A and B are shown apart, each in its own frame.
Chain A
Amino acid sequence: MDGKPGASVDMIGVSKSYGGVHAVREVDFSIRPGEVHALLGENGAGKSTLMKVLCGEVSGYRGEIRIGGQPVALGSPVDAQRAGIAMIHQELDLVPALSIAENVFLGREPRTRLRTVDVRRMVRDTARLLARAGVRLDPRRPVEQLRTGEQQLVTIAKALSLDARILIMDEPTSALSSHEVEQLFGVISELRGAGTGIVYISHRMDEIGRVADRATVLRNGSVVAEFDARSMTAAEASEAMVGRPLHQMFRTSAHRPVLEAEELLRVENLVVIPRRPRAGRRDPAGISLRVRRGEIVGLAGLLGSGRTELLETLFGVGLRGRWHGRVLLADRPVRPTGPRQALGLGIAFVPEDRRIAGLALEHSVLANTVLSVVGRIARLGVVSRSTEQTLTRRTTDRLSVKLASLNSPVGSLSGGNQQKVVLGRGLLTEPTLLLLDEPTRGVDIGAKAEIYRLLGQIASQGVGVLLASSEPAELIGICDRVVVLRGGRSVRELETDGVSEAALLAAVMGEGAMGEGARPEPALGEAG
């Protein structure tokens, strides 16, 4: 490091364009030591580009970057690292086959005197870093066995090990449960106390007010507002981000007559005993719940509480094994053995990670949208191009997907629009039961509101919706009821009318957890 800790970083009039399109233009942005500076903006507003400039990951920017008043050239990631700038990426850059410790120390492994890798020290130091990040994991476990949230915590531990002067966190909480978020905030305040400057990028308004000192809002690549983060309201920030007053974020309680509606899904004491259990999975171990037609039911729970596994089981992609209990769909016992069968039963599933499990990113919006129904719309195996186009056009219009052409690669769309494509593909199968796993993860606030509106609309057409989410505000805002899972069991059921986020959080973490802080938290995916 060439500067002393405590120097502030100033970006002055920074612009960067890709092929004639300004991703950021004339942006002034500064980070002072010991400060948490939130960077807000919708997807595509230029947040990541701005930060990539700071990390030396993009070259050819205009403007000036000063560290401690001295102009510096950050032409490569190495330059940035030398200047003490580190970034936790939104895309988790971990090597799946390597262990946690090997990932944390990748490229700078501690050596013994014989120049071999000092495994013992690596594991010991990693364990300490993990503890600081607030997660208990064996440093020798391969990263591929971890859930997304745990991987996110590993990247945070890795960033801690860099002793950076400026730490950029791009959506660090997108896959964390509320409990882990608390722990991360603890880490952040510790770093702040030590004089580290932190850039905090997030879509979650509630977090900004709690963790940040200042907030800067980008829109279309320019700074449009700066706030004192502590006194800023979510409404102010949202309006600056979208550039217009935000209408009702969550659907208005458009009193749908769900209470009298007939029951669509009933899960009775479901237990799955996998034939080949997999480490880190929490298969259903006693789940009971109901979803009526037109009802949106939330699934709450910490990471490793078995939300995803329940949805997978209902869609027929869980682990194979013995079942106890029953699943009834419209009063008929069902046991889906695969996606095709589940889709045939009228069950659609929007998986958690659209990039990994949802989309072929290089393929066109059209190919991705009609994928579930091409077999159905084919006559004698022949698909009519115009039918495909009509269906896709209808879907993208209905979900207001913003796109240049149906033939654009879906990977070129923003996160929110990608998610809408996954949702639209499910809807084309005309499901009666829609399963959603974290449907608004990494989605900007405008698209989020639209997805909520759509879900309300879908439900009002009589579709039953079962939605897993880590965001209490989301669960309370759009669900009629919330079922709380813990350790693969359904432990509580809450009507969302009049429930506070705090009450829901308490239910998720376990009633006793608040009182007895010393008790080790359950889960964190250590299920066996």
Chain B
Amino acid sequence: MTEHTRTEEAQAAGATPDIPTPAGSPPAEHAGRPPAEELPGRGARIGATLFKFQSLFGLVLVFAAAAALSPSRDGELVFLDSQNLFNVVRSISEIGILAVGMTLVILIGGIDLSVGSVLGLASVGAATLLVNNDLGVTFTVLLVLGIGLGFGLLQGFSVAKFGIQAFIVTLAGMQIARGLARIWSGGQGISITYGDGPGQAPVVFSLLGERTFNGLVPIPALIFIVVAVLAIVLLRVSAFSRHIYAIGGNEKAARLSGVPVTRVKIAVFGICGVLAALAGLVHAGQLNFGAPNDGAMYELDAIAAVVIGGTSLMGGRGSVVGTVAGALLVGVLRNILALNNIDSNIQLLIIGLVIVLAAGLQRLRPASVSS
């Protein structure tokens, strides 16, 4: 026997204060990072919060910078004028609505490239049904939303049931929706005129271009805010949201845990489709025009807002709060650059850099930050 036990020494070593690990909870060795089984310090917690809501902090920073760089008129900062601020919200309302739906799809590890085309289709649908078919506003809205829902559900069905990648299904959906929009409109934009006569849309629909609360809050901004709040609440409290995150985190584990994976996926694509159609209605209402070619590239702007918002394209991690902040951040940036008369091409450069920066920050995010 060459046994040589050094138990006492080791126990003495284990008692020194710089091993904070409580007895029986060893550091996770395979993780290759600080173990989380010991309580994180306050610094770590603050760091975690910063990363979790990076886009919110980014928004605050950009907002502050915008206020500082704002031109002034009559001694007032133009940027901070409430009219201007609500214009910012309105300017991102369509992309924002799309981005909320996109967030849900990305959270389950999917992507929806069709939203821009569905927006175009919906705007054509709204104009055609109101003007050419003399359908009332209620029916028009319901029918257009129904088209968006059906379109999304079909895509979701193809993804969930046949296991085709979402990228491919929605790439096809993007072409199909655009084609349908052009066929339905005959390739021409459809102007919406308001009135009581045949071929005229009920005046109610024109509210989409108006402002409420003493002419302060644009209706599209209001719709966006309502959609965002609903989605945030949904993701916070519902069993559905737990299922969404679980599917994105580990689809196989979710399935084995009894999560109705197929149903949840189809539903998420359905919701994304409805929101795309809603954005299309807002689009038609703001422009008084059904535009078959509009909405191109909107899907990418929506994805950009989601990414800046810190949602992982791998799924399972992210939030609608982040997305809303991401969309607002882009809106504020564009606004302040425009107020300072900076060339719109430069704006593109800057927004591109912001996207890279946001994604880079996510890479730095410590793995111990829970979703």
| Residue ranges of A at the interface with B (Cβ–Cβ < 8 Å) | 18-23, 25-26, 42-49, 52, 58, 90-91, 219-228, 231-232, 236, 240, 243, 315, 317, 339-340, 343, 349, 351, 356-364, 367-368, 370-372, 374-375, 377-378, 381-383, 385, 402-405, 407-409, 411-415, 425, 429, 446
A26, B367: Cα distance in complex, Å: 27
Known A-B contacts A90-B30, A224-B6, A360-B254; the reply to A367 vs B246 at CB < 8 A is: yes
Identify which of B1, B14, B35, B245 contacts A228 (C-beta below 8 A). B1
Cβ of B10 and Cβ of A18 under 8 Å apart?
A: no
Identify which of A351, A371, A409 contacts B368 (C-beta below 8 A). A409
Cβ of B14 and Cβ of A222 under 8 Å apart?
A: yes
Cβ of B26 and Cβ of A371 under 8 Å apart?
A: no
A377, B37: Cα distance in complex, Å: 28
Could you tell me the dominant secondary structure of chain A's interface residues? mixed
| Residue ranges of B at the interface with A (Cβ–Cβ < 8 Å) | 1-7, 9-11, 13-14, 18-21, 24-40, 237-240, 242-243, 245-246, 248-250, 252-260, 316-317, 367-371
> Hey, which chain A residues are within 8 Å of B259, CB to CB?
371
Cβ of B242 and Cβ of A381 under 8 Å apart?
A: no
Known A-B contacts A360-B253, A374-B243; the reply to A409 vs B26 at CB < 8 A is: no
Using CB atoms, name the residue of chain B closest to A422: B253
Identify which of A21, A222, A224, A357 contacts B38 (C-beta below 8 A). A21
Cβ of B237 and Cβ of A372 under 8 Å apart?
A: no
Known A-B contacts A21-B38, A412-B36, A412-B37; the reply to A44 vs B1 at CB < 8 A is: no
Least Cβ–Cβ distance between B364 and chain A, in angstroms: 15
Identify which of B3, B243, B367 contacts A409 (C-beta below 8 A). B367
Cβ of B257 and Cβ of A222 under 8 Å apart?
A: no
Identify which of A18, A46, A446 contacts B34 (C-beta below 8 A). A18
Identify which of A243, A317, A425 contacts B11 (C-beta below 8 A). A243
Known A-B contacts A371-B246, A404-B36; the reply to A412 vs B31 at CB < 8 A is: yes
Pick 5 A–B contacts, CB within 8 A, sort by A.
A18-B32, A224-B5, A228-B1, A231-B3, A317-B256
A357, B9: Cα distance in complex, Å: 41
Using CB atoms, name the residue of chain B closest to A418: B28
Least Cβ–Cβ distance between A32 and chain B, in angstroms: 14
A232, B5: Cα distance in complex, Å: 12
Least Cβ–Cβ distance between B110 and chain A, in angstroms: 16
Least Cβ–Cβ distance between A59 and chain B, in angstroms: 12
> Hey, which chain A residues are within 8 Å of B260, CB to CB?
340
> Hey, which chain B residues are within 8 Å of A359, CB to CB?
250, 253
A232, B26: Cα distance in complex, Å: 24
> Hey, which chain A residues are within 8 Å of B5, CB to CB?
224-226, 240
Cβ of A25 and Cβ of B13 under 8 Å apart?
A: yes
> Hey, which chain B residues are within 8 Å of A351, CB to CB?
256
Least Cβ–Cβ distance between B141 and chain A, in angstroms: 25
Cβ of B371 and Cβ of A48 under 8 Å apart?
A: no
Using CB atoms, name the residue of chain B closest to A25: B13
> Hey, which chain B residues are within 8 Å of A317, CB to CB?
255-256
> Hey, which chain A residues are within 8 Å of B33, CB to CB?
18-19
> Hey, which chain B residues are within 8 Å of A42, CB to CB?
26
> Hey, which chain A residues are within 8 Å of B28, CB to CB?
43-44, 412-414
Cβ of B370 and Cβ of A364 under 8 Å apart?
A: yes
A231, B243: Cα distance in complex, Å: 53
Identify which of B242, B246, B250 contacts A361 (C-beta below 8 A). B250
> Hey, which chain B residues are within 8 Å of A22, CB to CB?
18-19
Known A-B contacts A371-B242, A381-B239; the reply to A349 vs B256 at CB < 8 A is: yes
Known A-B contacts A44-B28, A226-B3; the reply to A408 vs B249 at CB < 8 A is: no
Known A-B contacts A21-B27, A21-B34, A340-B260; the reply to A408 vs B239 at CB < 8 A is: no
Using CB atoms, name the residue of chain A closest to B33: A18
Cβ of B246 and Cβ of A43 under 8 Å apart?
A: no
Known A-B contacts A21-B19, A362-B367, A363-B371; the reply to A357 vs B253 at CB < 8 A is: yes
